[in-house]
Structure formats: structure tokens, C-alpha cells
Chain A
């Protein structure tokens, strides 16, 4: 499966390494990510601070590693919510058809009209921008892709012999949906979800960059970059390293998605 699939190999390596780093963060960098050091303000990269320090003298590498925890977990959990909602609504629409289908798919159409960023910002304006809220909002505004895929797959699977046979044997709707339809439709959803993680991470970093996502002092890749803006032309490292971290992570997920696409065909 991995043979002749460089995309999947590279992608899994990147994300695997990243997860190890976030898992062992406290052992990798002993410093506290919020440790302020007035003697070390805006220091360029050195052996003590490989990625340099920020305006408050905090170690940038430490902050990026802890930021990875936040950004990755938001990506995974937000997408988890989106996929769960998507599978639920998509399989209901595909399986029951008619009115249920029309209603659910019209809802998806409506949701797709809203530019995601506007919708999310509007909700954030009304709620507290806590990490939990951000996960929930991104998840609840991203279920349409998985829902459409699941529905499409189920519509085409529904009439196949093995499903008809199962029905003739008296299986319940729930059993048919959960045991047979959803597993068979998971392939394309997996690709979509992997790309969705990237999208969720990009949304989170964008939100945090605007000051409406993860709130300082908790580090996230997006809010570290707020400082990059105010130190533009002064401290290149604050701009380069968090950005590269985002870039490499998104590349990793997108490579995995590309590799999965090849396997599924």
C-alpha cells in the first residue's frame, strides 16, 4: 500500500513526527512557553534559543512546540465534529431520501452560501473565543462536504444486491446504515476529512492572527504571528518559523490526502 506512494509516505512522516513532538513537548523543551525574560528580548536565533525569542523574551521554539499542541488538536477535533455531523446528516439524507433528503441537503446548500470566515467571525463576536468554542464553530460550519459525499455514496450503494439482501433478511435501518453503508462510503470521506483538518488549522491560525481565536498567553501558531506583524522588518525569525510550522503541517496533511486519493482510486 505504501509502495509507489511517495505522497502518503512523506505526509505520514511529517505528521507522525509532529505528533511525537507535541506529545513529548515538556521533555523536548524544558522552558515554560510563557516564561518572560526581560534580558532576552527579540534575540535572533542562537544555540540557547534556536528560533530566537519574542518581544517578551520568551523562547520561540518552545512556543511553537506548545502552539502545535493547540493547533493540531483544534484541527483534529473540529474535523471530528464535522465528520460526525456530516456522516449523521449525510446518511440520513441518502438513506431516507424524499423530504428528509431535501431538507438536509437544502440546509447544506444554505450553509455553503456563507463565506466560512464571515460566519465564524460573526459567531465569535457573540461568544467567547475559547478554544472549545473555536473547535465547535469550525466543526459545525464544515460538515457539508462529508455530508454530501456520504449521501452520494449511499445513494449509489443503496440499490446494490448485498444491501437488498440484508433488507430482505429483516435487518433494521440503523444496522444497514452503520454496518454496511457508512463503512463502504468511508474512503472518499477520509480524503475529505484529511483536507478538512488542513482547512480547520488554517481557519484557526487565521482567527488567532486576527486576535479572535486562541487568546494569549496560550500560544497558537496564529497568535504568535500577530507579533510578527508588529515586528515586521525587525525580527524576521518571529515571522519565518511559525509560518513554516503551519506550512509544513498543512503540506503533511495535504500529502496524506493526495496519497489516500491514489489508493482509493
Chain B
């Protein structure tokens, strides 16, 4: 087991290297590339901007030197200063990460709580009216673009019914609320964003859970469980569910990039100050140091998420750790 974990940890070294190389390549796409400026395809690039880029990334030096300069900064977690307000980029990101991670974590929990029971019931009642309606709804939600659903929900729940505020993190008079009032206000503001963030993943996981459970119910050990005299509920919820649930750990890990990517959209729509919206603003204002820092950091977050998912899968599934031993 421990050798497996060590091997996985060593495996992130080439990945980290790759992530920095790809990100570095994106900088090279930047207007600093002589061609782009000369052909002046990109009117947004002023000579002054080019100078700043050259200085920060050493664009006048040979490629490998440029990469090393950049790497030296990165390992010290120094991504430079924002072009907009000259604050250190890391500081700007650090203050916004908790909200995004919190939202996505809440979305993951919601996905899990809705999708697992639905998928399992669908599998047990395969081909029933219930199963067909769950399948239909999953297809529908899977096909609907997140930002459109966000608009629909805003229109319906916020404008028509007035249940939730349209956007933002807190109400204007937030400071005057009691502690409970504050908590309630935050929840009301965050409910729709979390729900919208969860919807795509929820549809996917329901389908996945359903097919896993159907597969598990076909296994010979289910016949054994029945032959032992276990009541049907124990056959389903102890023997089959345990097997069907294990791979979900990895799926949750795999859904991280989708969720993080989605944050750009729903944080922009709901005006929430997370790293998604920060990234959107950085792209709109061509704040290059901030863009680069976010690309690297979200990639590393995704990588760590997958790593944690893999390792926890190895911990919960006795077969994996055995094979790797």
C-alpha cells in the first residue's frame, strides 16, 4: 500500500513538469511573439505591454533560459504582480480560493447525495416508469448548458418567485444581520450557484451509478448472498451497493476539472468573487500574470484531486492495493 502511494507521489513529478511546460507554451502564444506584433493582428497589445511581458518572462532570451527564469519564480510561488492593481497575484488568488473550493465541494456533496440514491433505485427498478423518467431527466440535464440553466433558475426562482437573491454573496444590509441571519443570508445567496454547479455532474453520476449497480447485480456473488438467505435489502444495499459505490470515488476526482471550469461561468453569472470570476476578469483585462498563475494553479489542483481520488480508491478497494503491493 505504502509503495503504491509513494509511486503515485513520484508520478506527479513528470505531470508537474508537463503542466509548467504547457503553461509556458501559452505564454509564448502571447503578443510577445514578434510575429503577432509585427502583423499587428492583435490590436490589444501595446508596445508598453510588450515591454512588461518581456521583462517579466525574459522574452528576449533563448527559450530554455526563459523557462528556467519562469520556473525559478514559480517554485517560490511568485507569479508576479497583477497589471491591474499591482498586488501580488498569489495574494489575489489566495483570498478567492476558499469560496470556489467551498462551492465546488458543496456541489460535489450535492451531486453525490442526489445521484447515488437515484442511480441505485433506477438500477433496482430497471425498465420501470421510475427508471425511464430518471433516465429522461438525466439526458435533459446533461444536455442543458449550465449558464442557460442558471438564467432560467434566476428568472424563475429569483425574479418570479423571489425565493433567492439574483446574484452576489451577501445582501446589502448584511452587516446588520445577527449571526444566524448572516448564515441564512449566505445560504440563500449560494443555493442557486451550488445547485447549478451540481446539475451537470448529477446527471452524469446518476447514469454511471445506475450502470455500476446493474453490473454489480449481475455478479455471481449476488447469487451467493441470496443463497445464504440474506433478505433482499441486505443483498442490494450491502453486497451490491458496496461494489457499485467504490469506483465513484475516482469519478468524483475526475469531475474536478469540469467543476473548476464551470466556476468561470457560474461565478460570472451569479457575481461571486471566486477564482473563476477572477480568471474571467483577468482574461477580459489581459492581466497576463494572473492568467498564467490561475492556469497553473487550477491544473495543479486538478492533479491533486485526481491523486487523492486514486489513493482513496486504493484504500477502499481491497483488490487494488493488493495488486500493486
What residues of chain A have their CB less than 8 Å away from a CB belonging to chain B? 106-107, 109-119, 121-128, 198, 202, 205-206, 209-212, 225, 228-229, 232-233, 236, 239, 242-243, 246-248, 250-251, 254-255
CB of A167, distance to nearest CB on chain B (Å): 32
B261 touches A116 (CB 8 A): yes
- Is B311's CB within 8 Å of the partner chain A? no
Stretch of B2-10, B109-117, B263-271 with 4 or more beta carbons under 8 angstroms from chain A: B263-271
- Is B303's CB within 8 Å of the partner chain A? yes
Residues from chain A with a CB closer than 8 A to the CB of B300 are: 113
B299 touches A206 (CB 8 A): no
Within 8 A of A (CB), among B259-314: 260-262, 264-265, 268-269, 279-280, 282-284, 286, 288, 291-292, 294-295, 298-300, 302-303, 306
Residues from chain B with a CB closer than 8 A to the CB of A124 are: 283
Contact A125-B291, Cβ < 8 Å, known A206-B265, A232-B159: yes
A118 touches B295 (CB 8 A): yes
- Is B82's CB within 8 Å of the partner chain A? no
- Is B258's CB within 8 Å of the partner chain A? yes
B146 touches A206 (CB 8 A): yes
**Per a CB cutoff under 8 Å, which of A111, A125, A211, A243 touches B151?**
A243
- Is B30's CB within 8 Å of the partner chain A? yes
- Is B130's CB within 8 Å of the partner chain A? no
**Can you list 27 A-B contacts with CB-CB less than 8 angstroms, sorted by A residue number?**
A106-B18, A109-B15, A113-B19, A115-B260, A117-B260, A117-B265, A118-B261, A122-B26, A122-B294, A123-B26, A125-B291, A126-B31, A209-B145, A210-B268, A211-B284, A225-B147, A225-B148, A232-B155, A232-B159, A243-B144, A246-B148, A247-B140, A248-B143, A250-B144, A250-B145, A251-B139, A254-B139
A126 touches B26 (CB 8 A): yes
B151 touches A114 (CB 8 A): no
Interface of A is mostly: helix
CB of A197, distance to nearest CB on chain B (Å): 12
Contact A111-B302, Cβ < 8 Å, known A118-B295, A243-B144: no
CB of B123, distance to nearest CB on chain A (Å): 17
How many chain B residues sit at the interface, stated as a range, is: 35 or more
A225 touches B151 (CB 8 A): yes
B295 touches A126 (CB 8 A): no
Roughly how many angstroms separate A127 CA and B65 CA in the complex, as a whole number?
Answer: 24
Roughly how many angstroms separate A235 CA and B269 CA in the complex, as a whole number?
Answer: 18
B264 touches A117 (CB 8 A): yes
- Is B120's CB within 8 Å of the partner chain A? no
Residues from chain A with a CB closer than 8 A to the CB of B151 are: 225, 228-229, 232, 239, 243
Roughly how many angstroms separate A121 CA and B278 CA in the complex, as a whole number?
Answer: 12
A110 touches B264 (CB 8 A): no
B155 touches A233 (CB 8 A): yes
Other A-B pairs, 16, CB within 8 Å; known A118-B295, A119-B26, A246-B145: A110-B18, A113-B302, A114-B302, A115-B299, A116-B257, A117-B261, A118-B260, A121-B283, A122-B292, A205-B145, A206-B146, A232-B151, A232-B159, A239-B151, A247-B145, A251-B139
A114 touches B257 (CB 8 A): yes
**Per a CB cutoff under 8 Å, which of A210, A225, A233, A247 touches B280?**
A210
Roughly how many angstroms separate A149 CA and B306 CA in the complex, as a whole number?
Answer: 20
Residues from chain B with a CB closer than 8 A to the CB of A229 are: 151, 269
